[in-house]
Amino acid sequence: MKEIYYYLLPIAFILFVMYTYWQGKQRRYEAAKQVLDEAIQAGLTEPSCLHPVIDPIVCCGSGACVRVCPENAIGIINHKAVLINPAHCIGHGACAPACPVGAIKLVFGTERRGVEIPHVKPSFETNVPGIYIAGELGGMGLVRKAAEQGRQAIESIAKNRGSGKQLDVVIVGAGPAGLAATLGAMEKKLRSVTFEQEDSLGGTVYHYPRNKIVMTQPVVLPLVGKAKLGEITKEDLLAFWHRIVERVGMKINFNERVERVTATSGGYLVKSNKAEYLTRNVLLAIGRRGTPRKLGVPGEESPKVVYRLVDPEQYQGRKILVVGGGDSAIEAAVATSEQPGTTVTLSYRGDAFGRIKQKNRDRLAAAERDGKLTVLLSSNVAKIEKDHVHLDKDGEAICFENHGVIVCAGGILPMGMLKDMGIQVETKYGTD
């Protein structure tokens, strides 16, 4: 009889371990399925950049792709890897090489939603001689790869310098690609100008939420050498760039945006909102966010109107209007409403919030329920005054006291400008 127990106990232990393992996998499957269902419900099923397409026939469900994804965009459902959170995917691309069976392909766009990508050569020159593109505009939003593209683009530009009073290159944008390119131009002693439409450097990183963790691999920067950053917060990454700018004496013209690029004899005339530049080459290192979309109403030029939320604390004790119906508007409204003594009104022209994340929908409902903010659907801003704002809601005029307006109405993408310059733009529908 004892011999039977000797056999049964190990078997029971093995069965217990197997059951516990199975239960754990089921919980992970269910959690991944819930994230996917929420993304579908919110309409957030279309990734905006380079992303994985997973072949379910080839996929072995090893979970290697899940483990290397820093954005938690991939999960395992029914033993197969699935892109469960497409909106979180920002194109790290670590999943593809991690897959042991080659089931993952990295592509731009989907069958339903195309992504416009300008055509560039390996030198990062477009089909228009002398105009180069690096970084997010070309489809690469990762810090390391964008910086590397900026550096390589300058390598190509250095072979085609300007003459006379002509600049060698005008660098548009001060994100990772533009900063690396500017360092490269300084190293090669090119005559260059760098300008940025925002009031600070960082590009898309500048717009990340506070304390967002950014994953970046080691990057080699001109004049700096190899920088090992690893996991770093948005604030620390921006501080890193600021230290470099100060150390090398880099000059960046902030609050300056490109308006037109016109071909001249042997180069280009770049017109910004502040100046004109004659140059041999142009490097567009701008992001895909574009120029903030404005409301086009009287009083919008007021200094109290901004197009992003930088620090909610600055609005303590004030009456604030947030305009927009996307995730950025919801997040700005909720974050601001959490400040002591702040009164927040959220205005949206639609009759319902559509494509927003479920967690933002829940946070908005809770804030509204707690009386922290007021939501005005089917409303439009009519006029902005020093101490008041005027809205139109279903034909009814509304006016209330106001100390600040945060407009989160999206951006105007630069693709139209590229096409006007003659740059070929290809729409990708799930192709690499």
Res 215: pLDDT: 63
**pLDDT band per the 50, 70, 90 thresholds, residue 8:** confident
Task: Please state, for a pLDDT cut of 70, what percent of the chain lies above it.
Answer: 96
CATH fold match for the domains 115-290+414-428 and 305-410: yes
Q: Chain-wide mean pLDDT for the chain? A: 89
Q: Tell me: the pLDDT tens digits for 148-175?
A: 999 999 999 999 998 889 999 999 999 9
Res 114: pLDDT: 82
Q: Cβ contacts of residue 228 below 8 Å, gap of 6+?
A: 218
358-369 and 2-42 helices, crossing angle to 10° = 70
Q: Tell me: the pLDDT tens digits for 20-42?
A: 777 777 888 899 999 999 888 87
pLDDT at 1 over 60: no
The residue with greater pLDDT, 231 or 175, is: 175
| Tokens coding 16 | 């217990």
Q: How many Å separate Cα 193 from the centre of its chain?
A: 25
The domain 2-107 is placed in CATH, from the list 3.10.20.70, 3.30.70.20, 3.40.50.720, 3.40.50.800, at 3.30.70.20
Q: Tell me: the pLDDT tens digits for 179-224?
A: 999 999 999 999 999 999 988 998 888 877 677 767 667 888 999 9
Res 231: pLDDT: 78
For the residues 132-140, what does the mean pLDDT come to? Answer: 85
Asked which of 76-85, 388-397, 411-420 is least confident by mean pLDDT, the reply is 411-420
Do residues 340 and 307 make contact, with C-beta atoms less than 8 angstroms apart? no
Q: Tell me: the pLDDT tens digits for 368-410?
A: 999 999 999 999 999 999 999 999 999 999 999 999 999 998 8
Domain 115-290+414-428 superfamily per CATH? FAD/NAD(P)-binding domain (3.50.50.60)
Res 5: pLDDT: 65
Res 141: pLDDT: 66
Residue whose C-alpha is closest to residue 277's, from 255, 300, 259? 259
Q: How many Å separate Cα 112 from the centre of its chain?
A: 21
Domain ranges of the chain: 2-107, 115-290+414-428, 305-410
Question: For the whole model, what pTM was predicted?
Answer: 0.75
The residue with greater pLDDT, 6 or 319, is: 319
Res 112: pLDDT: 82
Fold of 305-410: FAD/NAD(P)-binding domain (3.50.50)
pLDDT at 58 over 90: yes
For the residues 97-113, what does the mean pLDDT come to? Answer: 91
Res 300: pLDDT: 96
Res 353: pLDDT: 86
pLDDT at 109 over 90: no
Res 87: pLDDT: 80
